[in-house]
Structure 1
Amino acid sequence: MDQRKIVIATIMAISMSPVIVAETHASDNHLIIENSGTIINPNLMGAKVAETKSVATVSNLAATNITDLTSILENELSKRSTAISIKYTGDTTNILEKVNEIIKNYGFKDDYFRGILSKWQYGTYGYENNVTITVNLTYLTTPQQEAFIQSEVERIVDSIIKPSMSVVEKVKAINDYVVLNTTYSFDSSTTPHAAYAILNEGKGVCQAYALLTLRLLQEAGIEAKYVTGESRGEGHAWNLVKIDGQWYHLDTTWNDPVFADSSVDHSDYVQYKYFLITDSAIREDHTIDNHGYPTATSERFMAFRYIEEPVQVGSTLYFPNQLSNYQLYKLDMTKEPLKVEKVSSTRVQYIVPVDGWLYFSNYSFNAFLAKMKLDGSEEKILLEKRVDSVRLEGNEIVASFGGVELYREVVMDAVVVGQQEEIQQIRSILNSIEFLSPNFEAQAIQLKALYNILNEDSRLLLSNSERATIQSILSKYETMKNLTFDTIQWETARKITNPKKEWKINLNQEVANTAANKSQIRIVDMFGESISATVTINGKQIVVTPLNEYVANVPYTLIVDKGLLSVDGTKVKNGVHLEFELN
């Protein structure tokens, strides 16, 4: 028999538009099969595909039929494995297409997996009906980032969800948290398409909004889905939420409108136009991908659609109704069927509730400062001057126009007044604290102590954005305090003087110059976040060069993970790390 290799190249197209190259080699009396393919997740909303990270391959897995193969693969995907190897002794006909279908289909069983999967590569090698299947997956987030997400999701749900809440109140609390704590932006240090960017930096795009909303809803025990489609001609992502057997659309991105006038503070602005709405309502400006999503036909919560900038007192929302020339209306979320009710014919803006009263700018009367009871009675003008801002500062109502303070009144009782000093100290810290600074730890400890002193009423005197910032700072502090490395410290911490010092690591054997090896070498800051740096491997020497200057008196760590591959294929058994600080 001719021992020369006979190569047959085949190109096949799959619905996700990959290119798969299949090769068969005739050798002796056996048919050796070598197949490979790469799929870019089409639901990335423009996210850049990251390099595959090097991790230990999950091996010692075996399957004899497609059912077992599906079960094994789905189990590994559920664990977010990144490198899988399976010995397969079943029918290898079209096996590559079957592996691809298993991964695609699993994405519709596990929505979060589908949202964070960046790409997957897969291949087979071996003999007919006796091959090894390899699958390598790349995600938008690292395992460390996913651990942070899980911790934050648990903390947030614990802080905003109360057992007494109805399901719709829980969904509203989650919607409000995401909207009030996120700025729509591509400008984040990590990918803006993942929930990590929002939780770590308060920034993200629609995919991040939808993925974080999904995780929060699921943590709160509410069934939800991750939905993809288009809006305004661009890829978009949002959610479906199941309440009492019915599905509803929830778009937290579009409930967080972007305003042209950036000089006005809209940090506390929330709208509900895309809150628990029907298919027909969402299709007014969205296109839903054809992925077999459940239908949403119930109009049970359509009363929320025209609510903007509400204030909540108990389970009741008070808001200026834009459909009634901004007259004061309310919606009791516990009273069904849900419907909005007029409270007063007075046109209101900038509502602040305090102890049974609503303070507001009276647009029916020259935008003067006014107040009324929750039932619309006892309306009274407090200041016969136009105001465009009404807010609660500590125990005082403060009104201003054009940034100039015009009115200040003490409105809270003595119990809350007694904690004004702590509130002012908290605000002082919030105005001065920097995350990556030598003073961060001391300020975070002080902030934690002050915040723990406040009773629940006093905490409500802080704005939503202030409370969110406090939680972010405390979360960062806990991360810093509990930061550890699964590597050996090779010497005591160093003090350096060069703000852009590069590190040269000399080894006793040559290391392979591969992307996988480079991904295991990095510099992290005091929160465990990788800083921007280049890694060069040249035989027995590794050079790590930061792209930006280190912050003085802040701890950094140079890490070389275990598992580096030498040029002969052997693995470095132990990882090492070195702590250092710029004087």
Structure 2
Amino acid sequence: MKIKGLNLFLSAILVLSLAACTTPNSNKGLSSAQSNDSTISALALNSDQNTTEDNASTQLDAKSTQANKNAANATEVNNNIQNSNDLQDSSDLQAANESDNNKQVTQAQNNTTTNNDLIQRKAVIDNVVIDTTQEVATQAPIVGNGNSSSVTQTSSENNFSFIQASGSFRSWDAYVQYLKSNGATYVSSTAEAITVINNICKNAQSGMNLCFSGDVDIASLVNVLPKDTTVSGYIDVNVSECEYIYNDYYFAAKFTWWTSSSEEAAVNSLVAQMLPSLNQGTTYDKIKNVHDYICNIANYSTATLTGAADDFSAYDALYKKLAVCQGYALSFQKFMDAMGIEAQIVKGDIDTKLAKGSHAWNIVKLNGAWYCVDCTWDGQDDSTRYDYFLLGAKEYPYGITGGINFAPSRYIK
């Protein structure tokens, strides 16, 4: 189902009208009035010398009247100047207000566009590519192999896809509803999300789409995904590729496993079936029981070295009874995990009398100390050996420790 979102726009129109005003030159107005007044005074004095007293009186009256008119004109000019200045100040104030209002409208439009674009950029998902605000990350393929330096996974299910979305959404809630309607699992906390991821990985499922309300720590989710490290657990080695994407309300991961989900279910079933008989005695006895069981049923897959087979998984070792070192190590690790015995898988390039190249083996903790167990070399054919069983630092042949401090020497019962 596709939801078409509505973009939010903010528009505002400010209409301001202001009559045009002309500002006269105030100095010029005053000077003209003062000049007229001086001229009239001079004429009156000249006339007084050449005319009779009546004419002089009349002239003076006329001068006084004219002066009063000129004074009134000067006052009017000054008033006009003040009014014009006041009007100009008002015009400037209105222009400033108009500018501020336009700035506020522009800012509001920019804010609305920015918020809307943010939702759109973060919500739009096209395959694994999202616009600049979307974080996209791909972990390097995790390769566990026998004596081969390159591996191609062909047997695992890989039909999972990320949820694709296009357009924009009115809110993040609308986006989350869209994800839910397209099959995403809603989680309310980081712990709940981690539980879902762990179950997906434990059962070798092809992926998951999670959505949430923003109260989930993405870094914690990334941290629990399988990792390609020298010393790893079962899930870390059983995955051949892990790809994930996320934003503030969506987290999805896609996995390619060395076992399909149905094969992993078969491995879990076999381990549960064999556990009652193998999980007997002391911790040493339990470790030896598993070592012997794997070495007795599995043989080394030379066809995988030539590319004719891809026997890399615990399923290959336990059901097909053919595997390279990774299959042996995964099988041993699966039983140790089921028994609650601390163990890890170590991977790296080796150079020994038996082999040169990539290799995988196990380390196991017994009585508080770490020892090496390599079922590959002890069970590569129909016989079972103990040449690589519970080796300490003195006998350890590989030189790759992954920071593990081994017991001084081989465990002797």
Q: Give the alignment's TM-score, normalised by structure 1.
A: 0.38
1:502-521 maps to which residues of 2 (within 5 A)? none
Q: CA–CA distance in 1 between the matches of 2:227 and 2:322?
A: 30
Partners of 1:67 and 1:99 lie apart in 2 by 9
Output the CA distance in 1 between the equivalents of 2:320 and 2:371. Answer: 29
Q: 1:143 to 1:67 in 2, by over 3 A?
A: closer
1:252 paired residue number: 375
Kindly state the Cα deviation for residue 253 of structure 1 after the two structures are TM-superposed.
1.0
Following TM superposition, by how much is the alpha carbon of 1:113 offset from its aligned partner in structure 2, in angstroms? 0.8
Secondary structure of the 1:136 match is: strand
Q: Post-superposition shift, 1:211? A: 0.7
User: Is the 8 Å Cα contact of residues 205 and 261 (structure 2) preserved in structure 1?
Assistant: no
Is it true that 1:30 corresponds to 2:118 in the alignment? yes
Provide the C-alpha distance between the structure 2 equivalents of 1:254 and 1:133, rounded to a whole number of angstroms.
42
- Identify the residue that residue 271 of structure 1 maps to in structure 2: 385
C-alpha distance in 2 between matches for 1:179 and 1:72: 34
What displacement does 1:114 show? 0.9
Q: Name the residue aligned to 1:217.
A: 336
Q: Gaps (5+ residues) in structure 2?
A: 1-6, 8-112, 123-129, 163-182
CA distance, structure 1, for counterparts of residue 284 and residue 400 of structure 2? 25
- Residue 59 of structure 1 aligns with which residue? 184
Larger Rg, first or second structure (1 or 2): 2
Partner SS state of residue 187, structure 2:
strand
Listed one character per residue, the Cα deviations across residues 157-202 of structure 1 (whole Å, up to 9, x for unaligned) are: 445x374x33323322322222222221143787311011122222
Alignment coverage as a number of residue pairs: 258
Aligned to 1:567: none
**1:70/1:172 Cα in 2 relative to 1: closer, same or farther (>3 Å)?**
closer
Given the superposition, is the C-alpha separation of residues 240 and 121 from structure 1 closer, same or farther in structure 2, using an over 3 Å criterion? same
Q: What SS does the aligned partner of 2:331 have?
A: helix
Give % identity.
21
Q: Deviations over 1:458-515 (max 9, x none)?
A: xxxxxxxxxxxxxxxxxxxxxxxxxxxxxxxxxxxxxxxxxxxxxxxxxxxxxxxxxx
1:251 to 1:109, Cα distance in 2 relative to 1, 3 A = closer
What CA RMSD, in Å, does the superposition of the two structures yield over aligned residues? 3.8
In 2, distance between residues paired with 1:131 and 1:186?
A: 47
State the alpha-carbon separation in 1 of the partners of residues 201 and 225 from structure 2.
Answer: 8
SS in 2 for 1:214: helix
Superposed counterparts of 1:117-132, under 5 Å? 117-124=239-246, 130-132=248-250
Residue 247 of structure 1, CA deviation = 2.0
Give the strand-richer structure, 1 or 2: 1
Deviation at 1:106? 11
Between the aligned partners of 1:158 and 1:91, the Cα distance in structure 2 is 43
**Unmatched segments (≥5 aa) in structure 1:** 4-24, 258-265, 304-337, 339-583
1:237 and 2:360 are equivalent in the alignment: yes
Question: Going by fraction, where is helix more abundant, 1 or 2?
Answer: 2
Which residue, 235, 238, 261 being the options, matches 1:143? 261
Is the 8 Å Cα contact of residues 229 and 286 (structure 1) preserved in structure 2?
A: no
AA matched with 1:181: I
**Partner Cα separation in structure 2 for residue 72 and residue 156 of structure 1:** 28
Q: How does 1:377-396 map to 2 (within 5 A)?
A: none
| C-alpha contact (below 8 Å) 1:176/1:270 kept by paired residues | yes
Q: How does 1:526-565 map to 2 (within 5 A)?
A: none
Please tell me whether the aligned partners of residues 316 and 327 of structure 2 are also in contact (alpha carbons under 8 angstroms): yes
User: How far apart in 2 are the matches of 1:157 and 1:250?
Assistant: 19
- Tell me, in whole angstroms, the C-alpha distance in 2 between the residues paired with 1:107 and 1:81: 21
In structure 2, the residue matched to 1:184 is 300
Structure 1: distance between partners of 2:203 and 2:232: 11
Aligned to 1:83: 207
| C-alpha deviation, 1:87, in angstroms | 2.2
Between the aligned partners of 1:166 and 1:214, the Cα distance in structure 2 is: 18
Alpha carbons of 1:42 and 1:138: their partners in 2 closer, same or farther (altered >3 Å)? Answer: closer
One of 395, 398, 404 as aligned partner of 1:285: 398
